[in-house]
Structure 1
Amino acid sequence: MASVIYTDDVADPRLDDFRDLTTADRRPDRPGGRGLVIAEGTVVVRRLLASPYPVRALLGVRRRVEELAGDLADVSVPAYVPSAETMARVVGFHLNRGVLAVADRAPRPSVADLAAGARVLAVLEGVGDHENLGALFRNAAALGVDGVLLGPGCSDPLYRRSVRVSMGHVLRVPFTTVDDWPGGLGTLREHGFRLAALTPRADAVSVRTAARTPGPVALLLGSEGHGLSEA
């Protein structure tokens, strides 16, 4: 069971995973970033707790932590409970959702792992906006997509903003990167996938028509600007 720990010490070193998120934001490619996965709000924290990502700790006002009591019953992590004012000073901004959780990253599957047994995969190229990426994962979950492959130019789906916009679905829909682009897509063909590139062109085959073709399909989606590359 989670250990509930009350503290109002802004300098408490046990809260360092949550400190100054507006500055470091825990992205591994930013100064001070550590690559931690950060969930905001009870809905997203619940999805993090149910995910394969190893949870390190929670930070939240008393009411929000109490709302999560059932979810924390089988989780052996500390749950730090400060006042709302102390929490805002630690995090660096006022958090309306009232609770955060941090976790370490989990190993990613291979492209072959994702392809095995999947019916529908989304393959992204150049999706650089974190909010757009989060929205894509949320839609993938709603539409029953089995996994997401990230090609070149894609943002980090575990960046805090992406996790928030996805409503935590980036923690549920498995994903991996395609390091060999576009050669790595051959792995999908080896698993029997048809590759279908989405386009707004008027003469394109409709998604509804394409979906009637039997067998697994990989839907290719390009960047917000020029779309898919010609490779």
Structure 2
Amino acid sequence: MPDASDPRLADYTGLRDVELRKSLEAEHGLFIAEGEKVIRRAVAAGYPVRSVLLTRRWLGSLADVLDGLGDRVHVVDDDVMEEIAGFPVHRGALASMERRELPSVGDLLHGALRGERTAGTPADPGRILILEDLVDHGNVGAIFRCAAALGIDAVVLSPRCADPLYRRSVKVSMGAVFSVPYARMADWYGGLAEIRAAGYRLLALTPASHATPLNRLDLRSACALMLGTEGDGLSSRWLHEADEAVRIGMDPRATARGVDSLNVVAAASIACYELAARDW
């Protein structure tokens, strides 16, 4: 049974050290899936398994996934697992998976517009999200989960957005990051022009009172909903670049209660529903 110093377990080192993980995962082209359900979803999505680290009690439930992995399966005691990862791994199983090359923004957009995720059914107008500089991994994972549940076709990330395949993003999304296609912009300054040229109307989500309520929006064309940072919202440049500002209608009493906006995950969930539900 390997111990924490075993070099074969280097993929799993310091899972709560964000900077270490960014460096290690980028260098080796890997990400970590945590828990049986997420591991299965990563495998089902076609990500190759580098190795699996688990405690003995998970051998039975993951037997079919482990079959054929041979010496890439590492069984350790709970205390060794915690020493390697840097925290108690309550789900008892981790898998190191190989990343795949992301599509270009252009390829992603044209696929979403054609309705490729709903093969065999008529293609509805594309519905995508654009995330500008969301840096919290949990928020990015939660938004992917909303997108998967509520019919969003794809997600585009600005260059500085958090990594959807970082362990916490994957965990919070419950593996939805594997099922919603996404790409990352190379150019924040001019990236929106490519999206508009691909046939999408750019919608800037803002709490501003002059913005169009989402439930009154004409959705007969392809739409790209832009969501801004956790604190400040969309940058002034992206607000200016948008074709239309849109907002979520709020109770007239909200301001008196000290609420003038929603957090980005709550806003994303409502906005995704408003964008996609009329196509169901």
Place the TM-score, normalised by the shorter chain, in its bin. Answer: 0.7 to 0.9
Inter-partner Cα distance in structure 1 for 2:18 and 2:236: 36
CA displacement, residues 79-135 of structure 1 (integer Å, 9 cap, x when unaligned)? 212222222222232211100011122101011111113111110112111211111
| Alignment: residue pair count | 224
Do the aligned partners of residues 65 and 200 (structure 1) sit closer, same or farther apart at CA in structure 2, a change above 3 Å counting?
farther
Instruction: After TM superposition, list the pairs within 5 Å mapping 1:36-115 onto structure 2.
Output: 36-73=30-67, 78-115=72-109
Other structure's SS at 2:226 match: strand
Deviations 1:194-226 (A, max 9, x none): 11111122332222322x421211110011121
Matched, 1:194 2:201: yes
Task: Assess if the C-alpha contact under 8 Å between 1:152 and 1:181 holds in 2.
Answer: yes
Provide closer, same or farther for how the CA distance between residues 92 and 25 of structure 1 changes in structure 2, counting only shifts above 3 A: farther
Contact 1:27–1:34 (CA under 8 A) maintained in structure 2: no
Letter in 2 for 1:214: R
Contact 2:49-2:98 within 8 A present in 1 as well: yes
Distance 2:42 2:212 in 1: 38
Cα RMSD after superposing both structures: 2.5
The answer to whether the aligner puts 1:227 opposite 2:233 as a matched pair is yes
Gaps of 5+ in 2: 113-125, 238-280
Structure 2 distance, partners of 1:26, 1:104, is 17
Unaligned ranges ≥5, structure 1: 1-6
Write the mapping of 1:146-157 to structure 2, written as runs, cut at 5 A: 146-157=153-164
Structure 1 equivalent of residue 262 of structure 2: none
**Larger helix proportion of the pair:** 2
For normalisation by structure 2, the TM-score amounts to 0.71
Q: TM-score, normalised by structure 1?
A: 0.85
Q: 1:68 to 1:123 in 2, by over 3 A?
A: same
Residue 129 in 1 paired to residue 136 in 2?
Answer: yes
Say whether the 8 Å CA contact 2:131–2:157 is kept in structure 1: yes
User: Percent identity between the aligned chains?
Assistant: 45
User: C-alpha offsets along residues 159-208 of structure 1, whole Å, 9 cap, x if unaligned?
Assistant: 22222212121222222111222422222222211111111223322223
Whole-angstrom CA distance in 1 between matches of 2:228 and 2:17 = 30
Q: What one-letter code is carried by the residue in structure 2 that aligns with 1:58?
A: V
Structure 1 range deviating more: 140-149 or 154-163:
154-163
Paired residues of 2:51 and 2:95 also in contact (CA < 8 A) = yes
Aligned to 2:122: none
CA contact (8 A) 1:24 1:31 kept: no
